[in-house]
Amino acid sequence: MYNGARIAAVVPAYKEEKMISRVIDTMPSFVDHIVIVDDHSPDATSAVVQQNSDDRVLLIRHEVNQGVGGAIITGHRAAMELGADVNVVMAGDAQMDPDYLPALLDHVTTEGYGFAKANRFFAPESFSGMPRYRIFGNIMLSFLTKLASGYWHLFDPQNGYTAIRTEVLRRVPLDNVARRYSFENDLLIHLNILQVPAVDVPIPAVYGEEVSSIKLGRVVPELLSLLTRGFWRRIWYRYVLWSFSPIALLLMLGLVLFAFGLAVAIWVCFQVAASVVATAATVMLAALPLMLGTQMLISSLQLDIQASPATPTYVPFERQNEKS
C-alpha cells in the first residue's frame, strides 16, 4: 500500500518481450497488483510474463488487438475488481521511470486530486535534441487538447504515465472512451465533463531501444476528429445541459457574429477587386460583427480557462482510513 491506498499498476503491452521483464522487476514494492494486458502480441510477450515469479502479476491476453486504449481499459477494469484504490498506468517498454511513481501517487492519495499525469516538457531544456517538427507537433497537440478537454493547466497530453482514483474511474463511461492512440486525449475530455481535479507532475521520459509504430497519416485525422467532437460534447454537457452558462452563450453568439462578419468581409474584398467602391456602411457591416464576435470568443475562452477543474476536492486516503 501507499499512503493508505491499495495501488495497482496497469501495463499495456504489445510486442514487448524484450522489455516487459524489466518493467516487472523494477516495479516498487508498494505496488500491490501488476495487471499486464498483452494486446494480442505476435511475439513471446505473454510467455515472458508467465515465466516471471512475481506473485503480484495478473496477465490478461486479448484475443483481438484493441489498441493501447483498449488494453488500458481492460487493465483498469481488472484492477478495480482486485480492489485497488488507485490505478497507475506504466508502459510495457520501460519508458516510465518507477522512481517517479511516488511523485504521481502523492497528488492522488494525499493532496486530493482525482487524476495526475506526467509531463515530459516541464522546462525549455526538455525539448533539447528533439526535431523541430516534433516540437511543433507536441505544442500544437497540447494546445488543441487543452481547448477540447478544458484542462488548460495540463501539457503533454499523450503522456500515458498517469495515476487515477478508482472512485473516479467508476464514474467514467469506459465503454465510450477511445480505444487507440487517442485514449489519453479522450479520457481528459471525459474527466473534465465530470469536473475531476487534475494535475501535471514534472517527470522526465526514459528513452531506450523502443521503436514507435504510430502511423501519423492515420493517427492525426483520428485525433483531430476526436478532439472536435469531444470539444462540443464537453460544451454541451458542462455549459448547456447541466447548467446554462454564459460560456455557451458567448461561444455561440461569438461564432455566429464572427462567421457573418467574415462572410461579409470576403464579399467586400471581391467587390473591391471588381473595382466596386465599398461604402463606409458596407465596411462596418463586416468590421463590427468581426470585432464583437472576436471579443465574445475571447471572453468565453477566458471563462473556460477559469473553470478548469484544478482545485483538489477528494479526501486523502489516510483520512479515509481514520474515519473507517
Pick the most confident of 51-65, 133-147, 260-274.
51-65
Same domain? For 167 and 273 the reply is no
Q: Tell me if 1 is assigned to some domain.
A: no
Same domain? For 222 and 271 the reply is no
Q: Tell me if 261 is assigned to some domain.
A: yes
Same domain? For 98 and 227 the reply is yes
Q: Tens of pLDDT along 166-211?
A: 999 999 999 999 998 899 999 999 999 999 999 999 988 765 555 5
Q: Tell me if 315 is assigned to some domain.
A: no
Same domain? For 183 and 286 the reply is no
Report the pLDDT averaged over residues 259-277.
Answer: 89
Angle at 182 between CA 256 and CA 35, to 5 degrees: 145
How confident is the model at residue 215, as a pLDDT? Answer: 60
Same domain? For 214 and 254 the reply is no
Dihedral, 89, 94, 99, 104 alpha carbons, nearest 10: -20
- CATH number at 179 reads 3.90.550.10
Same domain? For 272 and 193 the reply is no
Tell me which of 220, 239, 258 is where a domain ends: 239
Residue 294 corresponds to which amino acid? T
How confident is the model at residue 261, as a pLDDT? Answer: 95
Same domain? For 175 and 295 the reply is no
Q: Tell me if 214 is assigned to some domain.
A: yes
Per-residue pLDDT band for 137 (boundaries 50, 70, 90) equals confident
Residue 300 corresponds to which amino acid? S
Q: Tell me if 77 is assigned to some domain.
A: yes
How confident is the model at residue 220, as a pLDDT? Answer: 83
Same domain? For 72 and 159 the reply is yes
Yes or no: say if 322 and 110 are a contact pair by the CB < 8 Å rule. no
13 three-state secondary structure: strand
Same domain? For 124 and 215 the reply is yes
Q: Given strand 7-13, what is the order of strands in its sheet?
A: 57-61, 33-38, 7-13, 86-89, 162-165, 115-119, 198-202
Range of the domain at 296: 244-306
Report the pLDDT averaged over residues 3-28.
Answer: 96
- Per-residue cell: 306: 477559469
Give yes or no for residue 124 having a pLDDT over 80. no
- Per-residue cell: 214: 504510430
Percent of the chain with pLDDT over 70: 94
Per-residue pLDDT band for 297 (boundaries 50, 70, 90) equals very high
> What does pTM read for this prediction?
0.90
Distance CA 193, CA 133 (A): 32
Report the number of distinct structural domains present in the chain.
2
Sign of torsion, CA 11 16 19 20?
Answer: positive
Instruction: Quickly list H helices, 181-245.
Output: 183-193, 216-234
Distance CA 31, CA 58 (A): 13
Q: Tens of pLDDT along 47-64?
A: 999 999 999 999 999 999
Percent of the chain with pLDDT over 90: 76
Yes or no: say if 58 and 37 are a contact pair by the CB < 8 Å rule. no
How confident is the model at residue 279, as a pLDDT? Answer: 85
Q: Tell me if 320 is assigned to some domain.
A: no
Same domain? For 104 and 222 the reply is yes
Q: Tens of pLDDT along 85-94?
A: 999 999 999 8
Q: Tens of pLDDT along 212-237?
A: 555 656 778 889 999 999 999 999 99
Yes or no: say if 264 and 293 are a contact pair by the CB < 8 Å rule. no
Q: Tell me if 321 is assigned to some domain.
A: no
Nearest in space to 114 (alpha carbons), one of 317, 321, 322, 324: 317
How confident is the model at residue 221, as a pLDDT? Answer: 87
Tell me which of 214, 239, 264 is where a domain ends: 239
Tell me which of 239, 274, 293 is where a domain ends: 239
Same domain? For 190 and 298 the reply is no
Q: Tell me if 146 is assigned to some domain.
A: yes
Same domain? For 94 and 157 the reply is yes
List C-alpha distances in Å: 301 to 148, 150, 216, 220: 11, 10, 29, 24
Q: Which residue has the cell 501539457?
A: 155
